[in-house]
């Protein structure tokens, strides 16, 4: 295949894949956000139940503004649920809340992948902000030895970002598995409600898969000039 065609196709995939993943998770969440759980439990109450059942009595559950901005903050030891989740009684909201509680349990159990992810966060934050500037500097100075060195450093920095995403994926998948197991074991959702919550969490996981695929493709593009030498 013509290298130019390959470049264009790769660029289109990198552009479209994350958009499709975001659309899918948004559509899936909206669909199952219309389905009430039969017990009438709110997502924040479910989060409190799951945390307490795992002995995490000191972990708080708080509201945070935004849409699907739900997360667990290990520094503050808080599960934060967004506008679209907090106080909601849908199976989608409960699935998301249970997923974030899964992260809290991972930290409490010192689950290795999340410990690794936490350890590399500071380095990854720096690399994600600066790698492109370093790369651009290398391109501008490409006629000099320092330019080649800067490009190589930028690739190493971006590789650190890819590593972070690679570690994040199994962490997210494990949190979803914990969530579904808890929702079933504790009878929080009925048997016919569990597959609906699982579809929401699967859709969310696909955004991480898409992000990782795009990052790997970008890393390969950065490495291509070195591989041809």
Catalytic residue set: 100
CA atoms 132, 133, 138, 141: torsion sign? positive
> Could you tell me if 160 and 117 are in contact, meaning their C-beta atoms sit under 8 angstroms apart?
no
The two beta strands, 78-81 and 60-63, are parallel
- Tokens 């579809």 — which residue? 199
Which residues fall within 8 angstroms of residue 130, CB to CB, at 6 or more apart? 157
Beta strands in the chain (DSSP E): 60-63, 71-73, 78-81
């Amino acid at each position: 295949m013509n290298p130019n065609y390959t470049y264009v196709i790769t660029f289109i995939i990198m552009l479209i894949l994350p958009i499709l993943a975001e659309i899918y998770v948004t559509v899936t969440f909206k669909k199952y956000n219309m389905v009430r759980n039969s017990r009438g439990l709110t997502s924040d109450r479910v989060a409190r139940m799951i945390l307490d059942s795992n002995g995490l009595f000191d972990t708080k559950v708080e509201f945070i503004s935004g849409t699907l901005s739900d997360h667990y903050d290990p520094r503050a030891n808080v599960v934060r649920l967004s506008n679209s989740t907090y106080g909601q009684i849908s199976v989608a909201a409960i699935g998301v809340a249970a997923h974030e509680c899964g992260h809290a349990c991972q930290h409490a159990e010192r689950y290795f992948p999340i410990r690794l992810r936490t350890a590399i966060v500071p380095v990854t934050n720096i690399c994600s902000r600066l790698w492109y500037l370093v790369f651009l500097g290398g391109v501008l100075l490409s006629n000099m030895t320092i330019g080649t060195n800067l490009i190589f450093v930028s690739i190493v920095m971006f590789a650190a970002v890819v590593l972070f995403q690679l570690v994040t994926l199994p962490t997210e998948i494990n949190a979803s598995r914990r969530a579904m197991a808890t929702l079933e074991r504790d009878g929080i959702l009925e048997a016919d409600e569990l597959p609906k919550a699982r579809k929401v969490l699967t859709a969310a996981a696909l955004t991480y898969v898409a992000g990782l695929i795009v990052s790997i493709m970008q890393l390969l593009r950065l490495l291509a000039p070195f591989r041809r030498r």
